[in-house]
Amino acid sequence: MNKSLFSIFTILSVLAAAVNGYSVGAINGGSSFAVGQRLTSVPVRPVNDREMHMMGKKAKFGIFSPAVYLSKIALGEPKLNKLRGKGIGLHSGVIGDFTKWSGAYHLRTKLIKLAKTNGDVLGFLV
């Protein structure tokens, strides 16, 4: 009798705790999950066109930066810039063909800027 009374009390306690966790009218005015969430906002700074033209002077060091530095030593800076220009031109052409094919040609400029930003983060523009 004592064991069955204890198990019934335990089951009722677990159910009461579970229901209280999802109720709207809890002690703090809502569930504890909603109170634990904090809204944070990060100010968005608009990027102007002058910042997009890095020319390799302010580029970030990324995962491919060592390979770019080795290529600069092996090929020389003028030849590397020529090769880099051809690669960027081919990539921009592929982006243009893709946007034309998909019917989203209006997104071409945004995708090219995104590719340049990604290239900077990955270290291709050092």
Q: What is the pLDDT of residue 56?
A: 45
Q: From the CB of residue 125, how many other CB atoms can be counted at a distance below 10 Å?
A: 22
More confident residue, 74 or 31: 74
pLDDT at 37 over 50: yes
More confident residue, 13 or 64: 64
pLDDT at 101 over 80: yes
Q: Are 122 and 60 in contact (CB under 8 A)?
A: no
Which tokens in the block code for residue 97? Answer: 């063909």
